[in-house]
């Protein structure tokens, strides 16, 4: 085949083609593409040896083997020498061609790799740049194909997700996806979101991914496009944990700024207002007038510190903060005291950026302080000075008196029977009464005097520069003022008061001493009928001290067994038999001998010890009655009951328990009650008496005729006996007609009410004879026997007494 034929065949090819004679290794034909590649003319190439243009060693080896008869095909890259000597890298393929009608030739096909190499290098440069960009990004980047297979990720992604080393060196998509799912707090939601994105290749999405480590990742997912078509997906992860925390802090700060109850004002470095929170606007009374831009100093003032602005500026510059009190000027309201904390904020370079002023309204604090001082020095109910303020004023009066030589008076005042008002009408009503009394007392005094309330219904008055005469006049004026009728809620009643007076310096030189003396004098007034005044006398304290010592000695006596019971027999006037006796308390007081009840019962009633003594008497008397019954000498024992003991809530139960404890039949116990017990609370007394009567206990009314009990109440009470007071019995032997008439009336009334009558204090035979004539049922007294110790009284129990007119009276 001629070379022209090869030209015709190869001319339409894009590749450069040589046709080579394998025998001569000369080029037989070339196409136009080959000429352009070599940069030569056809006549320069055709007929030239192939080695002229192919300088690669591999070519020389190949053509030498052809000469030795080794026929083979070669395909590789090689270097080509252009006509101008430039070397070109080409991709070439050499192989034999055997036309059907001609000799075998070698066909060399070549493709210029210059542009390919240039493109490949550019692509490598772009890839390097892209990888550098990816690795330099602080965001984690993950690139996947459309099927979700991982194509690439950067170092930030690996660090953000804490990928293990094996996943960094060995691609393993399933393991990588399992690691990602295991790292999030909600694996199912995470995988569901990836599947959703994979099903929508063109979807763009932004969401938040929470890791188990507590980190928060912001994810932006975008499609990867090539020529407008999606070829994969890029996931960009950004760690927003700190940003979220900062945002939360900023939101919190804004919320605090808006909702703070304290006023907050932000200014620029020149202290012009930039922003005020709502509390500041309310405080400035400018809720509808934004003061932004104004110097903050126009709103503030410090009347006692003219240079306060310079002081604040210096403190902010030197220390960065200032604290102190300022006053806030207000357009339509009074100025307000503020406690201010002022802080300077600087930027990163240390330059002043802003100042922040925190202000707390001190109005409530100042009012509270005023209120505390009021409470500390004044009585909260009446507003009068209390003991503390009274002490300060009296101390000042003492200093004045020491210099001037003049004295003053202290009055201690207590309302009489005020407890009854509180108990019956309530404490609120009682408080209104106290306020009314305080106003009346205040009107009785001079401005230089001091009226103080110590508590309850007790008042103390300091009369400045007053002698005894002035104290008397003031005390009487107060008693008259208190005694005027009181009207509260249309209820009118009358009060009275008792006043004790102490003089400085005769009765004391301190407030405590003077109050103590005045209180002692007032107590004496209470004991002598109330409603009056009295000066303190030295012997009053001695009397009071004696009462205190007696009370203490009685309490010790109960513990040490110093008390005992004596028993006075009671005689039945109809049979003459001794059927009962009255238990009477005696005290063997060390250093005083045997003490009768008249010397200590009054103190026991005053101190409340009477209830404890009464229980002791009951216990001992019941035990003794049981012993007499066991000895075959049963006798009823009468026990006196005090008002305080009877008022005890558990009194009836105590009596029942005592009887049960000693096994004494209730009929052998008699309780003697006074009229004052029955009239104090008639309904409660009636209930208790009925309960005691149901137990089988005998009940008697002692000292009948000396009190003020109503016969209506007497008819209702479950009483068994009346005891005629000794004062009516004493004059019977002297033919006392009035007393005889009273005794006769009592006997007749008692019998009419179904009660027996007992006469006390019978000392003479004529008395006894009159009682017999009047129909009295029983008597006791010295005519027959004094109160006797247990050992002596036993001989009288059950004995029959010879009454007057039957035989000589027995000796006592």
Backbone φ and ψ for 660, nearest 5 degrees, come out as: -70, -40
pLDDT value of position 705: 64
- Span between the terminal Cα atoms of the chain, in Å: 187
Classify residue 765 by burial, with Cβ atoms within 10 Å: 0-12, 13-18, 19+. Answer: middle
Architecture, CATH, for domain 268-366: 2-Layer Sandwich (3.30)
Classify residue 505 by burial, with Cβ atoms within 10 Å: 0-12, 13-18, 19+. Answer: middle
CATH ID of 3-112, from 3.40.630.10, 3.50.40.10, 3.30.70.260, 3.30.450.20: 3.30.450.20
What b/e readout covers 391-418, taking b as 16+ CB neighbours within 10 angstroms?
bebbeebbeebeeeeebbbbbbbbbbeb
Distance CA 611, CA 701 (A): 19
pLDDT value of position 551: 85
747 alpha-carbon distance from chain centroid: 69
Q: CA 463, 469, 475, 479 torsion: positive or negative? A: negative
Distance CA 189, CA 200 (A): 17
Mean pLDDT value of segment 762-783: 91
The contacts of residue 507 (CB under 8 Å, 6+ apart) are: 513, 514, 517, 518, 536
CATH 3.30.450.20 fits 124-243, yes or no: yes
Note the pLDDT tens digit of each residue in 273-330. Answer: 888 888 888 877 765 667 778 888 888 888 878 888 888 888 888 888 899 888 888 7
Q: Nearest Cα to 690, choosing from 658, 721, 719? A: 719
- If one compares 60 and 556, the residue with the highest pLDDT of the two is 556
Distance CA 410, CA 653 (A): 48
pLDDT at 811 over 70: no
Does an H or E element contain 445, and which?
A: none
- Cβ–Cβ < 8 Å for 710, 702: no
pLDDT value of position 669: 95
Edge-to-edge strands of the sheet including 16-20?
27-30, 16-20, 105-112, 87-97, 74-81
pLDDT at 809 over 50: no
Mean pLDDT value of segment 616-643: 94
Q: Nearest Cα to 238, choosing from 157, 134, 163, 181? A: 157
- What tokens does 558 get? 């109960």
- Cβ–Cβ < 8 Å for 641, 672: yes
pLDDT value of position 436: 93
pLDDT band at 810 (very low <50, low <70, confident <90, very high): very low
Partnered with residue 566 across adjacent β-strands are: 584
pLDDT value of position 812: 38
DSSP structural state of residue 370:
H
pLDDT at 167 over 70: yes
Lowest mean pLDDT among 641-645, 691-695, 727-731: 727-731
Mean pLDDT value of segment 656-680: 89
- What tokens does 170 get? 């060995």
Note the pLDDT tens digit of each residue in 446-473. Answer: 999 999 999 899 999 999 999 999 999 9
Beta-strand ranges (E) seen in 621-734 are 636-640, 669-673, 698-704, 721-724
> For residues 807, 808, 810 and 812, what is the CA-based torsion angle, rounded to 10 degrees?
150
According to CATH, the topology of domain 565-796 is: TIM Barrel (3.20.20)
- Cβ–Cβ < 8 Å for 404, 486: no
- If one compares 727 and 248, the residue with the highest pLDDT of the two is 727
Distance CA 666, CA 59 (A): 149
According to CATH, the topology of domain 400-533 is: Alpha-Beta Plaits (3.30.70)
488 alpha-carbon distance from chain centroid: 40
470 C-beta neighbours (distance < 10 Å), count: 15
Note the pLDDT tens digit of each residue in 697-715. Answer: 999 988 776 655 556 667 7
Distance CA 160, CA 379 (A): 72
- In the three-class reduction of DSSP (H, G, I as helix; E, B as strand; rest coil), residue 81 is classed as strand
pLDDT at 204 over 90: no
pLDDT value of position 148: 83
pLDDT value of position 145: 87
Q: CA 171, 175, 181, 184 torsion: positive or negative? A: negative
**Of 85-89, 214-218, 375-379, 455-459, which one has max mean pLDDT?**
455-459
**Of 59-63, 668-672, 721-725, which one has max mean pLDDT?**
668-672
**Of 93-102, 315-324, 412-421, 656-665, which one has max mean pLDDT?**
656-665
Mean pLDDT value of segment 682-694: 87
- In the three-class reduction of DSSP (H, G, I as helix; E, B as strand; rest coil), residue 547 is classed as helix
Q: Where in the chain is the domain with CATH 3.30.450.20?
A: 3-112, 124-243, 268-366
Note the pLDDT tens digit of each residue in 495-529. Answer: 999 999 999 999 999 999 999 999 999 988 887 77
**Of 5-14, 163-172, 535-544, 678-687, which one has max mean pLDDT?**
163-172
- Cβ–Cβ < 8 Å for 666, 692: no
- Residue-by-residue DSSP string for 154-185: -HHHHHHTT--HHHHHS--HHHHHHHHHHHBS
Place of tokens 């001037």: 404
What is the percentage of the chain residues whose pLDDT exceeds 90? 30
pLDDT at 3 over 60: no
What is the percentage of the chain residues whose pLDDT exceeds 70? 92
pLDDT value of position 711: 66
Q: Where in the chain is the domain with CATH 3.20.20.450?
A: 565-796
The greatest distance separating any two alpha carbons of the chain, rounded to the nearest whole angstrom, comes to 198
- Residue-by-residue DSSP string for 758-778: EE----SHHHHHHHHHHT--E
Mean pLDDT value of segment 11-20: 81
Q: What is the mean pLDDT of the chain?
A: 85
Q: Where in the chain is the domain with CATH 3.30.70.270?
A: 400-533
């Amino acid at each position: 085949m001629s070379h022209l034929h090869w030209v015709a065949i190869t001319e339409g090819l894009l590749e450069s083609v040589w046709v080579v004679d394998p025998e001569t290794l000369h080029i037989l034909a070339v196409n136009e593409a080959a000429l352009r590649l070599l940069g030569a003319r056809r006549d320069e190439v055709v007929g030239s040896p192939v080695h002229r243009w192919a300088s690669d060693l591999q070519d020389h080896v190949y053509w030498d083997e052809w000469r030795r008869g080794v026929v083979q095909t070669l395909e590789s890259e090689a270097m080509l020498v252009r006509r101008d000597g430039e070397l070109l890298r080409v991709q070439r393929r050499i192989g034999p061609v055997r036309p059907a009608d001609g000799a075998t030739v070698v066909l060399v096909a070549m493709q210029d790799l210059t542009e390919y190499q240039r493109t490949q290098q550019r692509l490598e440069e772009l890839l390097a740049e892209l990888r550098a960009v990816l690795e330099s990004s602080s965001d984690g980047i993950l690139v996947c194909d459309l099927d979700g297979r991982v194509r690439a990720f950067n170092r930030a992604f690996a660090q953000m997700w804490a990928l293990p080393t094996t996943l960094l060196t060995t691609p393993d998509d399933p393991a990588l996806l399992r690691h990602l799912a295991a790292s999030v707090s909600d694996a199912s939601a995470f995988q569901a979101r990836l599947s959703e994105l994979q099903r929508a290749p063109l979807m763009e999405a932004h969401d938040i991914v929470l890791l188990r480590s507590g980190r928060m990742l912001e994810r932006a997912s975008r499609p990867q496009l090539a020529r407008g078509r999606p070829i994969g997906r890029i996931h960009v992860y950004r760690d927003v944990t700190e940003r979220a925390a900062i945002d939360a802090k900023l939101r919190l700060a804004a919320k605090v700024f808006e909702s703070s109850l304290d006023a907050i004002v932000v200014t620029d470095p020149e202290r012009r207002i930039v922003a005020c929170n709502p509390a500041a606007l309310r405080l400035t009374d400018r809720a509808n007038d934004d003061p932004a831009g104004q110097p903050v100093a126009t709103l503030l003032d410090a009347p006692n510190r003219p240079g306060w602005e310079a002081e604040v500026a210096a403190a902010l510059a030197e220390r960065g903060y200032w604290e102190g009190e300022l006053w806030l000027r207000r357009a339509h309201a009074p100025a307000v005291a503020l406690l201010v904390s002022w802080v300077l904020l600087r930027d990163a370079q240390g330059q002043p950026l802003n100042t922040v002023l925190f202000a707390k309204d001190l109005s409530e604090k100042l009012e509270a302080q005023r209120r505390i001082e009021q409470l500390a020095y004044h009585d909260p109910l009446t507003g009068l000075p209390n003991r503390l303020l009274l002490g300060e004023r009296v101390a000042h009066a003492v200093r004045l008196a020491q210099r001037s030589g003049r004295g003053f008076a202290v009055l201690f005042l207590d309302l009489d029977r005020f407890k009854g008002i509180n108990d019956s009408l309530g404490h609120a009503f009682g408080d209104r009464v106290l306020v009314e009394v305080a106003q009346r007392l205040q009107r009785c005094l001079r401005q230089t005097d001091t009226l103080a309330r110590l508590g309850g219904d007790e008042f103390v008055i300091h009369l400045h520069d007053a002698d005894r005469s002035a104290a008397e006049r003031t005390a009487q004026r107060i008693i008259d003022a208190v005694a005027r009728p009181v009207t509260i809620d249309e209820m009118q009643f009358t009060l009275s008061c008792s006043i004790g007076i102490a003089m400085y310096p005769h009765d004391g030189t301190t407030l405590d001493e003077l109050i103590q003396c005045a209180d002692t004098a007032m107590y004496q007034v209470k004991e002598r009928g109330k409603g009056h005044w009295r000066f303190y006398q030295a012997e009053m304290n001695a009397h009071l001290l004696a009462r205190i010592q007696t009370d203490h000695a009685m309490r010790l006596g109960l513990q040490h067994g110093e008390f005992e019971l004596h028993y006075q027999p009671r005689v039945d006037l109809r049979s003459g038999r001794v059927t009962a006796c009255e238990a009477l308390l005696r005290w063997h007081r060390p250093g005083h001998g045997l003490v009768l009840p008249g010397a200590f019962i009054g103190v026991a009633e005053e101190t409340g010890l009477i209830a404890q003594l009464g229980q002791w008497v009951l216990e001992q008397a019941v035990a003794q009655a049981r012993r007499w019954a066991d000895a075959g000498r049963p006798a009823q024992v009468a026990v006196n009951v005090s008002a305080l003991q009877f008022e005890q809530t558990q009194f009836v139960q105590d009596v029942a328990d005592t009887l049960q404890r000693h096994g004494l039949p209730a009929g052998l116990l008699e309780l003697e009650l006074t009229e004052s017990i029955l009239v104090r609370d008639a309904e409660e007394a009636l209930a208790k008496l009925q309960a005691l009567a149901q137990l089988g206990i005998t009940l008697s009314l002692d000292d009948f005729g000396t009190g003020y009990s109503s016969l209506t109440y007497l008819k209702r009470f479950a009483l068994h006996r009346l005891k005629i007071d000794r004062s009516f019995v004493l004059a019977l032997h002297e033919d006392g007609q009035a007393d005889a008439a009273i005794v006769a009336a009592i006997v007749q009334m008692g019998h009419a009410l179904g009660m027996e009558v007992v006469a006390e204090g019978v000392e003479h035979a004529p008395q006894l004879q009159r009682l017999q004539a009047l129909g009295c049922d029983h008597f006791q007294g010295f005519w027959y026997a004094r109160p006797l110790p247990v050992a002596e009284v036993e001989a009288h129990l059950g004995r029959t007494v010879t009454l007057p007119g039957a035989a000589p009276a027995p000796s006592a």
